[in-house]
């Protein structure tokens, strides 16, 4: 796998090595070893979500309260999406910054979104399928959003679909009515950098304890 840290601190792009032969293509979509190299802790899988979106569908920007937050490992097995991560962690060195990655069925890239970072995507062709590995399950009332078209964020969403036709955005009412980043901050609804860092440190300590318990002893 090839790993690339995005401009948002703690977020990563993961590009797998694809093996082709006369039967088709194979790749490792997720490995514990690669994930540990980029985070220093295990990924505790609690839930797997799958969404199928028509061309022009925009989902997000969503984030969960920290702790415990909800980290995501996002892939696009079919279709093409413009995937976006936004740092909404108050106090983060990259607060307010965003990074976008094309996820598709060709390169089969993935994006890792740590706790406290907002996530969204725009579908660039019909029937785009996105799969999320989630570190925590959905908690009613603990998921929030910020405006995907907030001028302060100035996300450069694609204006045309994969076939070159202009995009008409399709969004949920909740996403359309989401507050701006600064309004969410003023209301005290955004995660704090120090809480996110403390949570990640607890994950690393827990991983180290488990590794120590499973280390073979001397005979």
Active-site annotation holder among 119, 132, 144, 199: 132
Active-site annotation holder among 41, 62, 144, 199: 62
Residue 98 makes CB contacts below 8 A (sequence gap 6+) with 7, 8, 84, 85, 86, 87, 153, 155
> What is the distance between the alpha carbons of residues 68 and 64, in angstroms, rounded to a whole number?
8
Tell me whether residue 77 is exposed, middle or buried, using C-beta atoms within 10 angstroms of its C-beta: 0 to 12, 13 to 18, 19 or more: middle
> Is 132 part of the annotated catalytic residue set?
yes
Q: Is 119 in contact with 75 (CB distance < 8 Å)?
A: no
> What is the distance between the alpha carbons of residues 27 and 77, in angstroms, rounded to a whole number?
11
| Separation in Å, CA 39 to CA 10, 42, 91 | 8, 8, 20
> What is the distance between the alpha carbons of residues 136 and 133, in angstroms, rounded to a whole number?
9
List the Cα angle 12/15/16 in 5-degree steps: 135
> Is 41 part of the annotated catalytic residue set?
no
Gyration radius of the chain's alpha carbons: 18
Q: Is 102 in contact with 132 (CB distance < 8 Å)?
A: no
Catalytic residues: 62, 132
């Amino acid at each position: 796998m090839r790993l690339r840290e995005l401009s948002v601190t703690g977020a990563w792009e993961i590009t797998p090595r694809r093996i082709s032969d006369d039967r088709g293509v194979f790749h490792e979509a997720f490995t514990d070893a690669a994930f540990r190299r980029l985070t220093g802790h295990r990924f505790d899988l609690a839930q797997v979500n799958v969404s199928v979106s028509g061309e022009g569908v925009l989902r997000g920007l969503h984030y969960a309260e920290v702790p415990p937050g909800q980290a995501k490992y996002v892939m696009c097995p079919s279709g093409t999406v413009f995937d976006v991560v936004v740092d909404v962690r108050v106090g983060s060195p990259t607060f307010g910054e965003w990074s976008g990655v094309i996820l598709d069925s060709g390169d089969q890239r993935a994006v890792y979104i740590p706790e406290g970072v907002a996530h969204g995507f725009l579908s660039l062709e019909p029937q785009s399928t996105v799969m999320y590995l989630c570190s925590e399950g959905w908690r009613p009332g603990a998921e929030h959003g910020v405006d995907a078209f907030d001028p302060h964020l100035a996300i450069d969403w694609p204006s045309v679909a994969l076939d070159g036709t202009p995009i008409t955005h399709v969004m949920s009412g909740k996403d359309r009515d989401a507050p701006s980043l600064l309004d969410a901050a003023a209301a005290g609804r955004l995660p704090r950098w120090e809480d996110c860092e403390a949570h990640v440190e607890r994950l690393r300590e827990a991983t180290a304890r488990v590794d120590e318990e499973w280390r073979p002893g001397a005979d």
